[in-house]
């Protein structure tokens, strides 16, 4: 897995840390660090505009300059599970072969420890929600999204029907990432109440040796829908 670190600040110490990894990573720097004109009511959201600008530039570099055909996006405040790369390596062929899929994520938004079955760490699902927080996309999807990329709040934009277009994302029962970023543009919103309680998978699952064909749309509906409709109704 080639590693590209895209830096969106002029912070010298950050640059030194990245440089310390030498040829193990490709270090690229977002060239435009200027303030972005925003509507007066969005002044406090300047950070979200900078993030969207950085994502657009960095993904453009990955797919146009480096010419990779797929990429895993990982923010700098994520810790990954032992089988993080194994998971993405296994689901990449599914993403390439099933047009009803548009991404794969390492994150389960309902992944609090009390809500997941840690003994079923091999279990994967399709979801209509874009989870983010460690996700895989293909170059073909970037070619679709880049011309209309939003100026801010890119992840909320990804969840709109106009972008999803009826497609699903893959996600695990037990998250393969957790965030430790209490500080940031969201000012710790939801971190103490929710994000810090997400369960990170601790054991390696050999996904590339498993049969994941149940995640294809036709097979998945035969597998998943009966479970939903036979489940007990709760108030």
Positions marked active-site:
155
Q: Which of 129, 125, 132 is nearest to 212 (CA)?
A: 125
The residue length of the chain stands at 235
Q: Which of 161, 106, 173, 165 is nearest to 136 (CA)?
A: 106
Q: Give the C-alpha separation, 222 to 166, whole Å.
A: 18
Instruction: Compute the chain's Rg from CA coordinates.
Output: 19
Side-chain half-sphere of 27: how many Cα atoms within 13 Å? 13
């Amino acid at each position: 897995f080639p590693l590209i670190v895209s830096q969106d600040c002029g912070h010298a110490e950050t640059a030194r840390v990245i440089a310390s990894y030498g040829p193990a990573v490709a270090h690229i720097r977002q060239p435009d660090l200027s303030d972005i004109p925003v509507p007066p009511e969005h002044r406090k959201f300047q950070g979200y505009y900078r993030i969207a600008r950085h994502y657009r530039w960095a993904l453009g570099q990955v797919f146009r300059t480096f010419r990779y055909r797929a990429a895993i996006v990982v923010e700098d405040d994520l810790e990954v599970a032992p089988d993080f790369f194994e998971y993405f390596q296994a689901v990449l062929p599914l993403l390439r072969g099933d047009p009803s899929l548009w991404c794969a994520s390492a994150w389960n938004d309902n992944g609090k420890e009390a809500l997941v079955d840690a003994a079923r760490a091999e279990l994967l699902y399709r979801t209509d929600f874009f989870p983010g927080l460690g996700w895989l996309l293909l170059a073909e999807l970037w070619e679709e999204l880049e011309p209309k990329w939003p100026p801010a709040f890119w992840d909320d934009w990804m969840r709109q029907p106009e972008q999803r277009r009826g497609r699903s994302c893959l996600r695990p029962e037990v998250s393969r990432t957790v965030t430790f970023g209490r500080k940031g543009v969201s000012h710790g919103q939801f971190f103490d109440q929710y994000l810090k309680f997400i369960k990170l998978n601790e054991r390696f699952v050999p996904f590339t040796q498993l049969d994941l064909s149940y995640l294809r749309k036709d097979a998945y509906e035969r597998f998943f829908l009966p479970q939903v409709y036979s489940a007990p109704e709760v108030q």
